Amino acid sequence: MDGENILLDSGLGSDVDDDFAPFVYENDPTLPDERYLDRELSWLAFNQRVLELAEDPDVPVLERANFLAIFASNLDEFFMVRVAGLKRRILTGLAVPTNVGRAPVDVLADISEKAHELQERHAAVYQDLIKPALGEAGIEIVTWERLDEGDRTQMREIFSQRIFPVLMPLAVDPAHPFPYISGLSLNLSVRVRHPKTGKEQFARLKVPPMLPRFVRIDQRESVDQMRFIALEDLIANHLGDLFPGMEVLEHHIFRVTRNEDVEVDEDETENLLQALEKELLRRRFGPPIRLEVTADMDEVTLGLLVRELDVSEQEVYRLPSPLDLGGLFDLAKIDRPDLHYPTHVPTTAAQFMPREPNAKPDLFAAVARRDVLVHHPYESFATSVQAFLEQAASDPNVLAIKQTLYRTSGDSPIVEALIDAAEAGKQVLALVEIKARFDEQNNISWARKLEKAGVHVVYGLVGLKTHCKLLLVVRQEQGKLRHYSHIGTGNYNPKTSRLYEDLGLFTSDDQVGKDLTRLFNELSGYAIEKKFKRLLVAPLHLRKGLLKRIQTEAENAAAGLPSGIRIKLNSIVDEAIIDALYKASEAGVPVDLWVRGICSLRPGEDGLSSNIRVRSVLGRYLEHSRVFSFVNNGDPQVFIGSADMMHRNLDRRVEALVRLTDASQISELDDLFDVAFDDGTSTWWLDAEGTWTRHSKNASGEPLEDLQNRLMHHISHRPRSGGRR
């Protein structure tokens, strides 16, 4: 999902972890037992923050509709992966206590209670806030009952010509067993009665997912005045055409969420691609784990669905229509600039600007002069990462290109550049992670296309996902080979690069080049590299490296030396890292955590975390970069990379952090933290009880500064020549 969809997860990708096995970490008896926040409830709290953006009247209304859709999409993935996985482990007897030591069956009950509350709140935001606000802006979503006869005539014609031919009513009777209900599909349950025999029957009608969810009523209306009707509402009012001669008694909407996680035993398969494709087919038939029904569904129909789908009362969600507000993604794309965030055009990084007017930029020359740190989407992905790879593909002096691909986009210029390089005779290695959740089929397609073009495609290490974002170019210069490297925090995806906040380092440093060469050899061959100079690499060294640096800060604080830790990431769950931060805090180290999603650490608790602050920033862009900064007695060590502080990232993924050495870049990231933790910046604050409180207005009721808007303005007004700040 993370690849093509615009998610504030998991992945936005989603950052919904699939690991329920505990990290083998020896409990520290000097710390209190109840020192962690429940990770599942913390994730739901994150999605609640997304919902709060939809509730905010200061956010443009089509963006609020988009946040409603993001909330729905995020929650779907949470159920498909986290809830489904937890239920599966309970049923198979493999469940283990959660990160807070609670029985999984109790956590499932907590999740259900909170999810019911949030889904009801989500529906209320749509009905009471967003729908009226859209109507005031000239975008009305109306019901069939509100249409006049002229509108109905037009809709009947649209139905008969565009919708009726693709509908497939499925009866349920002795000759027709209860049909398979695909995951996340929107369906009509229909009860009909034969007029002569009086016999009642049930039928299921799937709302075609390839048709627009909201049907435009009158195309002649201007863009400033638009009316829509939900597709399922239109279909429901033409059931007589689908069941001629029958009396339609009841019709209701329902939706099923299934376990759609994928499991492949890499140790037992000889062909990972074929095994994964087979598993993707099986994914469609995972067991149901949530049934959403409209609040007016009759008990007879509900009883039939519960029985046939084998769901519990806890798994039934009664909600006002419309269900599946993810359909609002379509409406959020309406071309009304006045109802969207102001357009932002990414700038080209100053170092990548041509040195002479009308000259073509030479990115190799720029990187050779000094390291370049780019900040997306404020700075352009197209004129940095994409241009760098395209220049490498066409440069006759480039001999080899090596790159990891975790998620990329359709018609990706990144993939095309790799193909061009291979066809030009260069050595090209692409490490494609085909197990990137919900992007598996897409990545399989890219892998085969790359192989066909002559690219050396590998799939990483058995048992590990390759999540690091690495690009290495080997270039011949004056009879010698020179390495040009890019290490990023985000995927090589031109589409999400316009929506995800990420950092990327370009460097010609020979040591980084050698580190990446060794790492790529490890990923594509049988090398086991134990040491890197400027990289911290998981699963072998990253955890140890971070724990060592946290311990150093604690020792410095105890000795009265300058100390401090600042970390920006998507999620923090890992017990060993959290406990180390607790101990550093109580040794006197000021710790700032900038967390987008899950946070299992309790901040601000006396005797445990009194020196730890936790903030969260959500907005028009998905905060996605990971930064690890240590004061180190005045000689700061700052890393950027792809890893969150979760078991999967530290123990079952190949991750890489690179250390920054340019003082101006280190200063720039420090300034970024200063703004994020300034009381005048709009953020959410986490307390020791796990409650996130939004701080968006000052004492006078005026909006606090939006960090992302500030960055957009600051970076777009930088001098176009010279350095960064």
pLDDT at 90: 80
Domain 537-716 belongs in CATH node 3.30.870.10: yes
Distance CA 715, CA 169 (A): 55
Q: Which residues of 1-38 are buried (b: 16+ CB within 10 A; e: fewer)?
A: bbbbbbbbbbbbbbbbbbebeebeeeeeeebeeebbbb
| Cα–Cα distance, 162 to 159 (Å, whole number) | 6
Spans of all domains in the chain: 1-137, 145-328, 350-528, 537-716
CA–CA dist 50, 240 (Å, integer): 41
d(CA 451, CA 16): 31
Tens of pLDDT, residues 531-548: 889 999 998 899 999 999
| Continuous segment of H or E residues that includes residue 302 | helix 299-309
Return the minimum-mean-pLDDT range out of 311-315, 354-358, 525-529: 525-529
Helices (H) and strands (E) in the chain, counts: 21, 27
Residue 2 has pLDDT above 50, yes or no: no
Q: Are 2 and 9 in contact (CB under 8 A)?
A: yes
C-alpha closest to that of 484 among 591, 557, 401, 547: 401
Q: How many CB atoms lie within 10 A of CB 557?
A: 23
C-alpha radius of gyration, the chain, whole number: 27
Q: How confident is the model at residue 558 (pLDDT cuts 50, 70, 90)?
A: very high
Pick the CATH number of 1-137 from 1.20.58.310, 1.10.3720.10, 1.10.1760.20, 1.20.58.340: 1.20.58.310
Do β-strands 683-686 and 653-660 pair in parallel, antiparallel, or remain unpaired?
Answer: unpaired
Region 669-673: what's the mean pLDDT? 97
pLDDT of residue 307: 92
pLDDT bucket at 21, cuts 50 / 70 / 90: very low
Q: Is 685 helix (H, G, I), strand (E, B) or coil?
A: strand
Query: pLDDT tens digits for 142-176?
Result: 999 999 999 999 999 999 999 999 999 888 866 66
pLDDT tens string 93-121:
766 666 677 778 888 999 999 999 999 99
Q: Write the pLDDT tens digit of every residue in 119-143.
A: 999 999 999 999 999 999 999 999 9
Contact (Cβ atoms closer than 8 angstroms) between residue 503 and residue 625: yes
Quote the CA–CA distance of 248 and 241 in Å, as a whole number: 11
Q: How far apart are CA 528 and CA 511, in angstroms?
A: 18
Domain 350-528 has CATH 3.30.450.20: no
Helix axes 61-78 and 104-125, enclosed angle (nearest 10): 160
| Range of lowest pLDDT (18-22, 25-29, 677-681) | 18-22
How confident is the model at residue 12, as a pLDDT? 32
C-alpha 582/C-alpha 612 separation (Å) is: 8
User: Considering the entire predicted model, what is its pTM?
Assistant: 0.90
Which range among 21-25, 184-188, 197-201, 708-712 shows the weakest confidence by mean pLDDT? 21-25
Q: What is the pLDDT of residues 282-318, one digit of tens each?
A: 545 578 999 999 999 999 999 999 999 999 999 999 9
Q: Give the Cα separation of 150 and 339 in Å (integer).
A: 29
Q: Tell me the β-bridge partners of 465.
A: 653
Report d(CA 571, CA 265) in Å as an integer: 27
As a whole number, the mean pLDDT across the chain is 87
- Average pLDDT (679-700) is 96
Q: Which helix (H) or strand (E) holds 133?
A: helix 131-136
What is the structure's pLDDT at 107?
Answer: 87
Per-residue pLDDT averaged across 592-605, rounded?
97
Give the pLDDT confidence of 446-470 residue by residue, as tens digits. Answer: 777 787 888 888 876 666 788 889 9
- How far does CA 574 lie from the centroid of its chain? 19
pLDDT at 643 over 70: yes
Instruction: Give the confidence band of 86 by pLDDT, cuts at 50, 70, 90.
Output: confident
**CATH dotted code for 145-328:** 3.30.1840.10
Do 1-137 and 145-328 come out as alike in CATH topology?
no
Mean pLDDT across the stretch 701-711? 95
How far is it, in rounded angstroms, from Cα 262 to Cα 280?
Answer: 7
**DSSP track, 391-422:** HHHH-TTEEEEEEEESS--TT-HHHHHHHHHH
Is residue 273 pLDDT above 50, yes or no?
no
The proportion of the chain whose per-residue pLDDT surpasses 70, expressed as a percent, equals 86
1/178: higher pLDDT: 178
Catalytic residue set: 467
Band (pLDDT 50/70/90 cuts) for residue 356 is confident
Q: Which of 75-84, 261-270, 356-365, 472-481 has the highest mean pLDDT?
A: 472-481
